[in-house]
A and B are shown apart, each in its own frame.
Chain A
Amino acid sequence: MASNSLAYNEQAGAGETAELGQEAAATMSPSGAFGLFSSDLKKNEDLKQMLESNKDSAKLDAMKRIVGMIAKGRNASELFPAVVKNVASKNIEIKKLVYVYLVRYAEEQQDLALLSISTFQRALKDPNQLIRASALRVLSSIRVPIIVPIMMLAIKDASADLSPYVRKNAAHAIQKLYSLDPEQKEMLIEVIEKLLKDKSTLVAGSVVMAFEEVCPERIDLIHKNYRKLCNLLVDVEEWGQVVIIHMLTRYARTQFVSPWKEDGGAEDSEKNFYESDDEQREGTERRKKPYAMDPDHRLLIRNTKPLLQSRNAAVVMAVAQLYWHISPKSEAGVISKSLVRLLRSNREVQYIVLQNIATMSIQRKGMFEPYLKSFYVRSTDPTMIKTLKLEILTNLANEANVSTLLREFQTYVRSQDKQFAAATIQTVGRCASSISEVSDSCLSGLVCLLSSRDEVVVAESVVVIKKLLQMRPAQHGEIIKHMAKLLDSITVPVARASILWLIGENCERVPKIAPDVLRKMAKSFTSEDDLVKLQILNLGAKLYLTNSKQTKLLTQYILNLGKYDQNYDIRDRTRFIRQLIVPNEKSGALSKYAKKIFLAQKPAPLLESPFKDRDHFQLGTLSHTLNTKAAGYLELSNWPEVAPDPSVRNVEVVELTKEWTPAGKAKKENPAKKFYSESEEEEDSSDSSSESESESGSGSEEEADSSEDSSASSPSEQEGESASESEGRSKRTAKKSWKTRAKSDSEDEEKENEKSKSSDSSSAESSSAEESSSDAESESESDSGPDSRKVTKEKEGRPKQARSTLPKDVSLLDLDDFNSVSTPVALPTPVLSPSLRADLEGLNLSTTSSVINVSSPVFVPMKTHVLLHRMSGKGLAAHYFFPRQPCIFGAKMVSVQITLNNTTDQKIENIHVGEKKLPAGMQMHAFSPVDSLEPEGSVTVSMGIDFCDSTQTASFQLCTKDDCFSVNIQPPVGELLLPVAMSEKDFKKEQGMLTGMNETSALIVATPQDFTPSVILQKVVNVANVGAVPSGQDHLHRFAARTVHSGSLMLVTVELKEGSTAQLIINTEKTVIGSVLLRELKPVLSQG
């Protein structure tokens, strides 16, 4: 990690602050300078002592108690100096608690808080990404204006950090800095712009959040990232999804033209949801050119759809509002099902979702009509939920379902929850007014309710009846008479007032009753509620005008009472009415019109949904819920008449091709990354991979990425049959096991069965997978199973992926699923195909020549070794591996392939080998310099090293344009060999010459299944590059090779003995290498 030291070059300024800080802390602590504080509270004295003790446990206890105080909201600020000293504590838990404390009190104790800054600055350079990230978090949370420049610097650095986690925290820090100092906006926008380009799913949500907070008006920043964000969306964490979807909804409304057929937009959508669709389309087509949706618009709609299935209610709601606001009306229907699903959730979620459904159901009834019954009310629902459900039911009511609904409402009216019952009555009124067919039955139902014992119900009924009668001033004399009678029993003021008003309005229809009612009211006038008194006055005035003979005196009596009432409203009204109706000398011109004024035709009230006016707010927002504009609410703009230039979203040509026409290569990396969308592509990818590297390992990679079909489809033609056969077999077994299970009733039995059956099936399965995964040696390996094999298999699979693409851990995060086109990755293909190798062997057997032929490797392990980690290489990562090929640079060299990856987001230029530090005798042929490496690109180069048949390390420098990194390659002993094909006879002959000093041997103990020929072969060739020698005896396995440098023979024999032991013998001139090889082979062969 020599390179790390480079990262530590702190600015001189920062270093100074650090020193100052420490000095200050040092002078303060021992001097008892807290005179100021200590007098306040003695009881915190022990905490201070604990914090100053040397023991971490005491400090930790103290910090825990302090955090407890903070949690309860008690003031612990006086401990600030004592706490802040521990900010550099080695103990991570103390440190974290100190951070908690700092963030809470730094604002109050700004000067002292500055003491801690240097610690964070240092931590920002820590190699551990968690420490870097948390330092940035705390530093940016300290709301001290003086450190704004430091924060700005830290954010800039962190936004270029290699770890996406740190970059995520940088995005969060942007918002914090912005709220602390809005003047930094311009600089912060630059950082946001940079982070928006980030391809990590981890960062996406946070940076969009920052964008929304800092510069939501800069919609132009989104253009270039729009497609990327759409494509990443499914893989972003759920909270980020919500923020991104809301932002994209706004974006879409500014950039695309309306997909709705009507011109007006949302307002007039309700009038024809069903019938008119076709007509409308025809109409619009005639009027203007046919509407074609922008492919980007479509992309957004398509990519958000899977998120309707999210478990997170906020995500579902976000998608729902997106569909509502930007999708064509015919497609918005898909959201209703998901929204209805959310109604199973807890009451708070229900509340918000129902509110939104209420707004939607006003405009587009059809969407929720199929789910009518899901909104039926249960007696256990909280009242607020009940009212909302009722609201929705009313909105959904139409001629077809109204009778069902009214029956349901009858139950609700009798509910014990009177508030709800009253709401139901209003609802019935609304139904009656909107659907004329049922208004009569509604009215009679309401009249029945008038005899209810509950006042609230009766009162509400009266009010609703009043409204209904007003709307349809037909002959409803009977009802009015009935209501007049009720005046004796009803005490609720609103109801009484309503009845009086009704009688007054219809006094000419009920000429006998009205004066009598007035008489009764005159008697009780003084004890009535103010509301009722006003209506009595009105009734009196109206009767005076129509029937003055009977009521003149009564009215005057009432007016006199009103004149001396305590309430000035009533006194005012009395004066007004008197002047208006009672003719006297002073009466003005108005009194002529008194009758017209009082008995004018009054427009009927419109019974409307209280949710009517909410539709101008974006759904799912706080503003919509509150029905007022909340702070920071971003208006959803109307669709533009003409779409802005769509080409702004085009990314440069190279990237565009990447996005839209992913080449076979790019697809191949997909399965691991694109989590949701992989399956379609998987087949292609497995095809392509099996073509390009038909030797071993291709399947195991797919395997790791799952899916049945990949294992079936990945093996290339030659193997296809056997693999599918075994696959089929395993399926059958598996199916059997499930059937048995399905039949068996008892749980216990079930498990028994399962154990046995499932073990069968899975082993069968695993072997089939195995076969398909490694073509070259599948014949010999079909009955594998031991774990060791599995382990090696896995090892092969993983690094192989790393080599052929990017290192796994990096690629997982990298959201960009596309590899740079410009960097074709060289796939190491063995020179000889397996069949050719078999031919060669055959040749060797037939010609009994004793010539030692170098043959092709039996097996090339895919294990790669790290040459340069990306952290220490400033983003340049290098891995090397041994292709086991004869080296093209020299016969005595071992060929090494190095894969270089660029994990930064800048080009790395001029990668070459610098100074070589080789032990005496060793030689190295460097690879030709790589001029430039694109971001995310990788390139494979090969070089040759002559290790002189030793396992000494070859050290050299890997240089880029700017930096040099020291790297080492140490060869495993098995790679210093080249396989040799020879006959059994030759082998015996050679072995005979290499005895005594030249022979080393060891005894191995292992289980019999480890000693099957295939397992032994596999194990040996995995460790060492040797060739198998055909053996006449079953218990003898022979392998031959020669060393690369000197060409000395290396003969390996595994002789199986009685029981589970075996003798491993190595004959070679190079005794040192021989014994090293023995040491390496022994554990491999003996492990179980």
Chain B
Amino acid sequence: MIHSLFLINCSGDIFLEKHWKSVVSQSVCDYFFEAQEKAADVENVPPVISTPHHYLISIYRDKLFFVSVIQTEVPPLFVIEFLHRVADTFQDYFGECSEAAIKDNVVIVYELLEEMLDNGFPLATESNILKELIKPPTILRSVVNSITGSSNVGDTLPTGQLSNIPWRRAGVKYTNNEAYFDVVEEIDAIIDKSGSTVFAEIQGVIDACIKLSGMPDLSLSFMNPRLLDDVSFHPCIRFKRWESERVLSFIPPDGNFRLISYRVSSQNLVAIPVYVKHNISFKENSSCGRFDVTIGPKQNMGKTVEGITVTVHMPKVVLNMNLTPTQGSYTFDPVTKVLTWDVGKITPQKLPSLKGLVNLQSGAPKPEENPSLNIQFKIQQLAISGLKVNRLDMYGEKYKPFKGVKYVTKAGKFQVRT
């Protein structure tokens, strides 16, 4: 399936290559560079490129291109999903998925890639199994290894590989047994010029951090499970249980993982926690325009809206912006034309606003469209859909774990058209 993998950085250097079948020359990447040049923007490089003898499937993650070489028919999503899994694994092992991190740990990267694929077919992608085979680098371990001469490589088959719960290894032990769940909901919305909602929906995830000894069997139930319209599960969740009782029953992986992601049924009206008043105009035949944006709270369930950031991709003709914020600070990058306004918290008494002048390139026609505003915000201790965890029970182990649930609402792809 997957023949080779090339890692390419932003400036177009191939800094790592790995082949699972016979060697494919680096020159195959020229087709990729060609496509990249044509696309102008990195985001627009097509993920699937056809070349005379190979097919290139690539992903773009953290300023790196992962380009895989394929020779025969294969579901493209299979490769894409796998490449993302590789990037996730690097992130997991090295804390970041960057060129520097990969170059520093090239041996571990190679060992990982060797374990993850055999002859182009995924072999072990579960981080629990990989971590037993190849231990992640830590400073302590590298010191110990250099003294004792022991290695980072496990010599027995990880227990997970052979069990039907490959995500959990046996013999986990903690002194403090804890289970934390973060219910994170994101509001995706498009608000039109007049402030009415064109489209809004709530997407949520439950991220878990489970540090429990032994083989705990957890079941998590909700007060209002009917809210969840469409759910995707971590493989550990027993589907039948959910189907029949709407209870999440699972033997958790060890550590951090995403338990479920869900979408709240579209029948429910979505509360939009902020409103934006905006007045952006460009004068005809003059090299300046006005910019005036105010943000206020709305339908926020009595919680404070915080961490507000407004990002605007200004039109190309904008040279500079001269603004005054009543709160927070702003930056404008004249090269990428991106305006970022870091607002912070909304206090209802004094609404934050950003006003000022826009300098345009003289002589150029005025932009036809006003830029849209991308808004980020965060509301602590609130799941905007009203989803509530009812209880968490543990079976199979006798100790008493700490349990905790945290709710956060965030803006997802929240866009205001102006």
Question: Which residues of A are in contact with B by a Cβ distance under 8 Å?
Answer: 56-57, 60, 64, 67-68, 70-73, 91-93, 96-97, 99-100, 104, 107, 128-131, 133, 137, 140-141, 143, 163-165, 168-169, 172-173, 175-176, 179, 201-202, 206, 209, 234-235, 237-239, 242, 246, 306, 309-314, 316-318, 337-338, 340-341, 344, 346-349, 351-353, 370, 373-374, 376, 378-380, 382-384, 408, 411, 414-416, 452-454, 620-623, 625-626, 628, 630-634, 672-673, 675-680, 703-708, 711, 734-735, 737-738, 741-742, 745, 747, 750-751, 754-755, 758-759, 762-763, 765-766, 769, 785, 787, 790, 809, 812-813
Check A675–B164 contact: CB distance below 8 A. yes
Q: Are B235 and A64 in contact (CB under 8 A)?
A: no
Given contact pairs A621-B75, A672-B164, enumerate 9 new A-B contacts (beta carbons under 8 Å): A67-B106, A71-B110, A73-B26, A202-B162, A306-B239, A338-B232, A678-B238, A706-B219, A755-B402
Q: Mark B53-64, 1 if CB is under 8 A from A, else 0.
A: 001001111000
Q: Taking A64-B107, A172-B118, A762-B394 as contacts, is the C-beta distance between A312 and B76 under 8 angstroms?
A: no
Which residues of B lie under 8 Å from residue A630 when comparing CB positions?
50, 55, 72-73
Contact B230 A337 (CB under 8 A): yes
Could you name 30 residue pairs across A and B whose Cβ atoms are closer than 8 Å?
A56-B149, A97-B107, A107-B23, A172-B121, A209-B121, A242-B78, A306-B239, A309-B239, A311-B232, A313-B81, A316-B232, A317-B77, A338-B232, A346-B59, A349-B81, A379-B313, A379-B415, A384-B44, A384-B46, A415-B369, A621-B73, A622-B55, A622-B74, A630-B55, A630-B72, A677-B240, A704-B217, A706-B396, A708-B219, A708-B395
Residues of B within 8 A of A129 (CB): 157
B322 to chain A, nearest CB (A): 22
Q: Is B47 an interface residue (CB 8 A)?
A: yes
Query: In whole angstroms, what is the CA distance A141 to B19 when docked?
Result: 11
Minimum distance in angstroms from B141 CB to a CB of chain A: 13
Which residue on B lies nearest to A341, using beta carbons?
A: B230
Which B residues lie within 8 Å of A172 (CB)?
Answer: 118-119, 121, 123
A57–B151 alpha-carbon span in the complex (Å): 10
How far in angstroms is the closest Cβ of chain A from B53?
9
Interface-located stretch among B10-18, B93-101, B292-300, B355-363: B10-18
Query: When chains A and B are docked, how far (Å) is the Cα of A809 from the Cα of B160?
Result: 11
Residues of B within 8 Å of A383, CB to CB, are: 41, 43-44
B367 interfacial by beta-carbon distance below 8 Å: yes
Contact B395 A130 (CB under 8 A): no
B127–chain A nearest beta-carbon distance, Å: 13
Q: Is the CB of A763 within 8 A of B400?
A: yes
A211 to chain B minimum Cβ distance, whole angstroms, is 12
Q: Are A57 and B149 in contact (CB under 8 A)?
A: yes
Cα(A347)–Cα(B76), bound, Å: 13
Q: Once the chains bind, are B125 and A239 in contact (CB under 8 Å)?
A: yes
A169 to B119, CA, bound (A): 10
Residues of A within 8 A of B81 (CB): 312-314, 349
Tell me the dominant secondary structure on chain B's binding face.
Answer: mixed
Query: Interface size for chain B: under 10, 10 to 19, 20 to 34, or 35 or more residues?
Result: 35 or more
- Contact B48–A626 (Cβ < 8 Å): yes
> Would B118 and A754 count as touching, CB distance under 8 A?
no
Most buried by A among B73, B372, B401: B73
Among the stretches B271-279, B325-333, B385-393, the one at the interface with A is B385-393
For A628, A673, A708, which residue has the most chain B Cβ atoms within 10 angstroms? A708
Contacts of A348 in B (CB 8 A): 47, 58-60, 80, 84
B240 contacts which of A60, A70, A96, A680 (Cβ < 8 Å)?
A680
> Is the beta-carbon distance between B18 and A71 smaller than 8 angstroms?
yes
Contact present for B402 and A453 (CB under 8 Å): no
Q: How far is the CB of B139 from chain A (nearest CB, A)?
A: 17
A626 & B47 in contact (Cβ 8 Å cutoff):
no
The 3 closest A-B pairs by CB, nearest first: A632-B72, A93-B151, A706-B217
Distance A467 CA – B296 CA, assembled complex (angstroms) = 47
Give the shortest distance, in Å, between B69 (CB) and chain A (any CB).
13
Provide the residues of chain B in CB contact with A165, threshold 8 Å.
Answer: 157, 161-162
Check A676/B163 contact, CB under 8 A, given A373-B198, A376-B199. no
* Of A202, A314, A633, A737, most B-chain CB atoms within 10 Å: A314
Listed residue (B81, B111, B240, B313) with the most chain A CB atoms within 10 angstroms of its CB: B81
Asked if B365 and A707 make an inter-chain contact with CB atoms under 8 angstroms apart, the answer reads no
Cα distance, A70 to B26, chains bound together (Å): 13
Give how many A-B residue pairs fall within 8 Å (CB-CB): 319
Give, as a whole number of angstroms, the nearest-CB distance from B193 to chain A: 9
**Is the beta-carbon distance between A751 and B415 smaller than 8 angstroms?**
no
Question: What sequence of 0s and 1s flags, for each residue 286-318 of chain B, a beta carbon within 8 Å of any chain A beta carbon?
Answer: 000000000000000000000000000101100
Most B CB contacts (10 A, CB to CB) among A73, A201, A763 go to: A73
Contact B161 A622 (CB under 8 A): no
**Docked CA distance A1017–B240 (Å):** 41
B196 to A: closest C-beta gap in Å:
12
Taking the closest CB of chain B, its distance from the CB of A427, in whole angstroms, is 17
Contact B19 A104 (CB under 8 A): yes
Q: Which residues of B contact A763 (CB under 8 A)?
A: 400
Say whether, besides A239-B122, A337-B230, A376-B198, A634 and B393 are in contact (CB < 8 Å).
Answer: no
Which listed residue (B75, B125, B365, B369) contacts A416, Cβ 8 A? B369
- Pair A622/B316 contact, Cβ less than 8 Å: no
CA distance A632 to B55 in the complex (A): 12
A71 touches B156 (CB 8 A): no
Nearest A-chain residue to B337, judged by Cβ = A416
Name which residue of chain A comes closest to B405, CB basis: A741
Q: Contact: A622 with B75, CB < 8 Å?
A: yes
Given contacts A56-B149, A165-B162, contact A706 B395 (CB under 8 A): yes
Give which listed residue, A169, A351, A754, contacts B47 with CB less than 8 A: A351
B77–A620 contact, CB under 8 A?
yes
Name the one of A306, A676, A708, A741 contacting B393, with C-beta atoms under 8 angstroms. Answer: A708
Q: Provide the bound-state CA to CA distance between A734 and B153, in Å.
A: 44
Inter-subunit contact A309/B47 (CB<8 Å): no
Residue in B closest to A305 when the chains form the complex, CB atoms: B239
Whether B401 lies near A73 (C-beta < 8 A) is no
A390: shortest Cβ distance to chain B, in Å?
A: 15
Whether B50 contacts A738 by the Cβ 8 Å rule is no
Most-contacted residue by chain A among B77, B166, B190 (CB, 10 A) = B77
Chain B positions within 8 Å of A347 at CB level: 43, 47, 60
Report yes or no: A738 in contact with B391, Cβ–Cβ below 8 A.
yes
Name the contact of B153 in the complex, choosing from A96, A179, A370, A633 (C-beta under 8 A): A96
Given A239-B125, A346-B84, are A234 and B239 neighbors across the interface (CB < 8 Å)?
Answer: yes
* Closest Cβ neighbor of B390 among chain A residues: A738
Please judge, given known A-B contacts A239-B78, A373-B199, whether A380 and B162 are in contact too, CB under 8 Å. no
Alpha-carbon distance A812/B164, docked complex (angstroms)? 6
Decide if B173 is an interface residue (CB 8 Å cutoff). Answer: no
